[in-house]
Amino acid sequence: MNIEQTTEQKILTRIARYIFRYGFSALTMEGAAEYAQVSKRTLYKRYPNKDAMLIAVVEFQVSRFEAILSSIINDETSACLSKLQTIIPLLADFARRFPPALLRDLQRDGGGVWDTIQRLRRERIYPLLQELLLQAREEGFLRTEIGPALLTELLFTTIEGIANPSVLSRLPFEPREIFSGLFDVFFNGILRDRGQPLLSLSDDSPYKETLEALF
């Protein structure tokens, strides 16, 4: 996957790497230009201020992660449980990469960045997970007494309750542990007997190197 084809993609990729390492509170437009290896004029031409730049970074990262999930879910050669086995560790690994500095910045954020993350998660990521749950249900792996609408809403509400900077920073566990445990409990609760032995989570993911490129 070629993710650095244009000047704008290069800028956003470099700034995203800085933010994921150090947070965004101390980042200035001048510092971003230096880190992205472009002139201030080039940066201001694309983004009038820091808030606009941060929103662009968030949207860019979400679109890249969405592409990874789409490639897994739309793979017609894999069964739905195999897709779950790939996606769940991937989501946990993604959460693990949020450093304390970034979590603190998101917790203190006035709403712009975090609201954008939540909106994009609802609009772009959740529909993909819902599609995968519906696939699993149609293939007979999920309990039928739970309606698909309620099932997906329970999952999304649980994720939103946990994937919150104030919650993640308060819990005495690594994000990866939290999300691995969450998905383990959730899916073992909704899988039928025939599906439970097939869903064994592993830390190994063929998409690990692809995920590395996001950071």
**Is there a domain that residue 103 lies in?**
yes
**What is the C-alpha to C-alpha distance for residues 61 and 3, in angstroms, rounded to an integer?**
11
- Is the pLDDT assigned to residue 38 strictly greater than 80? yes
**Is there a domain that residue 43 lies in?**
no
Give one DSSP letter per residue of 119-181, joined into a string: HHIIIIIHHHHHHHHHHHHHTT-B-TTS-HHHHHHHHHHHHHHHS-HHHHHHSSS-HHHHHHH
Phi, psi for 142 (deg, rounded to 5): -105, 150
Distance of CA 70 to the CA centre of its chain: 12
The owner of tokens 């939540």 is: 118
**What is the C-alpha to C-alpha distance for residues 83 and 125, in angstroms, rounded to an integer?**
15
Between 56 and 89, where is the model more confident?
56
Q: Tell me, what CATH number does 134's domain have?
A: 1.10.357
Q: What is the pLDDT of residue 20?
A: 84
* Total of domains in the chain: 1
Name the band, by pLDDT with cuts 50, 70 and 90, for residue 211: low
**Is there a domain that residue 117 lies in?**
yes
In this structure, of 126-130, 144-148, 187-191, the range with the lowest mean pLDDT score is 187-191
**What is the C-alpha to C-alpha distance for residues 123 and 176, in angstroms, rounded to an integer?**
23
pLDDT tens digit sequence for 163-187: 777 777 777 877 667 776 777 777 6
Q: 153: domain range?
A: 60-212
Name the band, by pLDDT with cuts 50, 70 and 90, for residue 140: confident
In this structure, of 45-49, 120-124, 144-148, 194-198, the range with the lowest mean pLDDT score is 194-198
pLDDT tens digit sequence for 47-73: 999 889 989 998 998 898 888 889 888
